[in-house]
Amino acid sequence: MANLENIKARKTLDQIQPYSPGKPIWEVQEELGLERVIKLASNENPLGPSKKAVAAIEQGVLGLNRYPDADASDLKMAIAKEHGVEKNQVIPTNGADELITLISEAFLEQGDEIIVPDPSFSEYDFGAHIMGAKVVKVPFAQGFAFDVDAMIAAVTDKTKIIYICSPNNPTGTYMKKQDVQKLLDAVGDILVVFDAAYSHYADADDYTDGTEFIQQGYPLLTLKTFSKIYGIAGVRVGFGIAADSIITSILKVKEPFNVNTLAQLAATAAVTDHEHVTQSREANNDGREFLYEAFEELGLPYTKSMANFVLVKLGDEGEALYQDLMKKGVIVRYGKGWGLPEYVRVSVGTEEENEFFVQALRELIQK
C-alpha cells in the first residue's frame, strides 16, 4: 500500500497562506441569527452592476453551447479604445488576480525577488511564492505614504518585478505621478506592475493610472479590474495593458479560454457605460466624506483615501470592535492580516449602509 505522506507538494508552497476573503453575508446571518447584515469588506460596488453589462449577459446566455472567443477580441478593442492604446497591448484575464499569477509565471524564476510596499494586496506575494521567488517588503512612510527612495534602494540584481498598488489596498494612499516617474527612471530595466484597480475613484491632479508611461515606452504594466467600479466581481474579469512584447510573454502562460463568454460580453458593455461609472464615483465621493465626518466625530484617526474604502484606526480594541460590529450585522475587514491589528478597512457602501455602519460603531464606542 502506498503511503500518502510521500505525495509531497513543492517546497515553495509552504510559504503560501490561504487567502481569507471577508465572510459572506449568508454565513454571518446564519451564525449570528441576524436578519440585516451588510458587507463593507470587499470593496465591491454597492450600487450594483452596470445595467448594460446585465443586459449583455441576458443576451448572451443562449450562445453558451459555444466556447468563448479565445482572443476576447471585442473586449480587447473596447479596452484599447478606452485607454488610447493598441489592441495587442491589452490582455483580458479571469479577474486581475489571474493576471498577477500569469505575470508571476511569465517573469519569475526561483530565487528572483519582487519588491512590494507593505501593507498591500496579498496576491503579489502569492504569485511570487508559487514560483519560489522572494518577496522584499518596503514599509510605507508616515501616513502610509509611498517611500519611493526606499523602494529604489531595495532593488538588487535579483529584482524582477516592482509592484505599485495605487490607490493602495488597504491604505487608500496613492503614488504621485512625479514619484512614479522618478522610480521608473531610477530602476531601468525592471518590470513595474502598476495595480490601478481603484483608479476610477482617484481624483487627485497628480494621480496617474500608469497608462501614459506605457505610451512613452517604459516597462510598466497597468493592471485593472471589472470587480470594483464596474460592479461585476461575480463574473471575474480583469486586464493588463503594457508594451506588446510584455503582453506576448504573458500570453504564453495563459489558458486559451480564460475569460468566459458571459464575462467577455458583460465587460465589453461595462467599459463604455460611462454613466454608471460617473454615478458610482459620485456616490463614492459622498460616502467617503460621510465616513470621514463620522470618524472625526468619534475621534478615530483615519487615512484620507483615493479609493472606495477607508482605513480607520480603532486602537487596542480593534479586534473586539471588529467582532462586535459583526454581531450588529456589519462585516468590515480586520487589519491583522496586514500587520495592522488596531485597524479595520471599511468599504464605502450605499448611503443607507454607511449610516447603518456608523450607527453601529457609535453605539459600540459610546456605550
Binding site for ligand PLP (CB under 6 A): 43, 95-97, 121, 165, 169, 195, 197, 225, 227-228, 233, 238
Instruction: Pick between residue 163 and residue 356 the one whose CB is nearest to ligand PLP.
Output: 163
DSSP code of 302? B
Instruction: Pick between residue 169 and residue 284 the one whose CB is nearest to ligand PLP.
Output: 169
Smallest distance from the beta carbon of 172 to ligand PLP, in angstroms? Answer: 11
Instruction: Pick between residue 118 and residue 149 the one whose CB is nearest to ligand PLP.
Output: 118
Neighbour-count burial of 123, counting CB atoms closer than 10 A to its CB (0-12 exposed, 13-18 middle, 19+ buried): buried
Peptide bond into 18 cis (omega under 30): no
Cβ neighbours, 10 Å, residue 82: 14
Instruction: Pick between residue 294 and residue 310 the one whose CB is nearest to ligand PLP.
Output: 310
Smallest distance from the beta carbon of 267 to ligand PLP, in angstroms? Answer: 10
The residue sitting closest to ligand PLP, measured at its beta carbon, is 95
What residue ranges in 89-133 does DSSP mark as E strands?
90-93, 113-118
Smallest distance from the beta carbon of 42 to ligand PLP, in angstroms? Answer: 8
Helices 318-327 and 25-32 pack at an angle, to 10 degrees, of 80
Question: Helix or strand or coil: residue 222?
Answer: strand
Instruction: Pick between residue 47 and residue 233 the one whose CB is nearest to ligand PLP.
Output: 233
* Nearest-angstrom CA–CA distance, 194 and 121: 12
For 127, 130, 224, 310, 348, the CA distances from 106, given in Å and listed in that order, are 11, 12, 18, 34, 35
Instruction: Pick between residue 108 and residue 197 the one whose CB is nearest to ligand PLP.
Output: 197
Please say whether the beta carbons of 13 and 123 come within 8 A: no
Smallest distance from the beta carbon of 248 to ligand PLP, in angstroms? Answer: 22
> Which of 44, 20, 19, 42 lies closest to 345 in space, CA to CA?
42
Instruction: Pick between residue 22 and residue 329 the one whose CB is nearest to ligand PLP.
Output: 22
Smallest distance from the beta carbon of 8 to ligand PLP, in angstroms? Answer: 29
Q: In Å, how far from its chain's centre is CA 160? A: 21
Please say whether the beta carbons of 225 and 96 come within 8 A: yes
Smallest distance from the beta carbon of 44 to ligand PLP, in angstroms? Answer: 9
* Nearest-angstrom CA–CA distance, 73 and 267: 12
Smallest distance from the beta carbon of 242 to ligand PLP, in angstroms? Answer: 16
Question: Helix or strand or coil: residue 246?
Answer: helix
DSSP code of 191? E
Instruction: Pick between residue 68 and residue 172 the one whose CB is nearest to ligand PLP.
Output: 172
* Nearest-angstrom CA–CA distance, 344 and 45: 19
What is the H or E stretch that residue 134 is in? Answer: strand 134-139
* Nearest-angstrom CA–CA distance, 243 and 250: 11
DSSP code of 13? G
Instruction: Pick between residue 94 and residue 358 the one whose CB is nearest to ligand PLP.
Output: 94
Instruction: Pick between residue 97 and residue 179 the one whose CB is nearest to ligand PLP.
Output: 97
What is the residue type of 252?
Answer: K
